[in-house]
Amino acid sequence: MLRQKPEGFLVVASRVTISRGWATVQTGHRGDWIEKPPKFCDGCQRHSNQSASFVGGRVVVLKPIQPESAASFRAVRLEALRESPLAFGSTYAKESLLTEPDWSARARQWTSGNSRAWLAWCDGQACGIVACFLDSDDRQRAVLASMWVAPTHRRHGLGRLLVEEAKAWATSAHAKAIALMVTSSNAQAIHFYEQLGFIRTGRTEPYPNDPSLVEFEMKCILV
């Protein structure tokens, strides 16, 4: 939470949760001062299920992807495909052809029923994305997908924040495990997921965009 003083606001906890338009701010730096409280979107009353944290000294808000945020969704997803092409099964060339109605429909699909997706926002800019859905053949198995953080916001804990948000939703949806596929050439991503409790299962699949590569399945048991 924030405790207001004449000099500013004293940080006395470690996370931010928004509920019914009210923000409770927390940070890992207990006792820190900030000059002003974090700014959230003008639609906080509508986005009552968004959450935020201090990442790299800045407030990052995670907002579920909705049809009204389709333009931002498109921008972040296409930049992810352009900047990290080997991290995804799809391609920039393919998805750049999608129309505005396509992106609105996709936004609605990704955050409804048995799937959820979030954009990470910092200083008014979308800087990360993650999606999670329940396996249609096994509802106790969740799948993590579309994970990406903008280069300007890496190595500050934002990737961990996005994955933990997905894991929390999967747990609330009664999944017992969460899995993902990672390209065999992406050693950095493999190490990142190992730090978050994922292990390789031994299952592999051909990587669709490069026949010289494969994808490793990694899985994390949810408590």
- Residue-wise pLDDT for 171-200, tens only, equals 999 999 999 999 999 999 999 999 999 999
How far apart, in whole angstroms, are the C-alpha atoms of residue 137 and residue 184? 25
**Do 65 and 94 share a domain, yes or no?**
yes
At 124-151, the pLDDT tens digits run 999 999 999 999 999 999 999 999 999 9
Assess whether 42 and 149 both reside in one domain: no
Pairing mode of beta strands 2-5, 8-11: antiparallel
Helices (H), 58-148: 70-83, 92-95, 100-110
CATH number of 97's domain: 3.40.630.30
Q: Which of 193, 170, 177, 162 is nearest to 76 (CA)?
A: 162
Distance, CA of 6 to CA of 120 (rounded, Å): 31
Q: Are 154 and 184 in contact (CB under 8 A)?
A: no
Check whether 20 has a pLDDT greater than 50.
no
59 and 44 in a common domain: no
119, 62 in Cβ contact below 8 A?
yes
Residues 150, 140: Cα–Cα separation, whole Å: 31
Q: Tokens standing for 112?
A: 């409804």
Same domain, 69 and 89: yes
Q: Per-residue pLDDT for 14 more than 60? A: no
Q: Tell me: do 36 and 53 sit in the same domain.
A: no
User: Helix or strand or coil: residue 134?
Assistant: strand
Look at residue 73 in the predicted model and tell me its pLDDT.
98
Q: What is the pLDDT of residues 152-178, one digit of tens each?
A: 999 989 999 999 999 999 999 999 999
Q: How confident is the model at residue 7 (pLDDT cuts 50, 70, 90)?
A: very low
Range of the domain at 129: 49-221
Q: Which tokens in the block code for residue 6?
A: 């004449």
Highest mean pLDDT (candidates 2-6, 10-14, 17-21, 162-166): 162-166
**Distance from C-alpha of 58 to C-alpha of 72, rounded to nearest angstrom:** 20
Report the C-alpha gap between 120 and 139 in whole angstroms: 26
- pLDDT, one tens digit per residue, over 44-74 is 333 345 665 666 667 899 999 999 999 999 9
Do 91 and 39 share a domain, yes or no? no
Q: How many domains does the chain have?
A: 2
What is the signed CA dihedral for 29, 33, 35, 36, rounded to 10 degrees? Answer: 60
Q: What is the DSSP letter of 130?
A: E
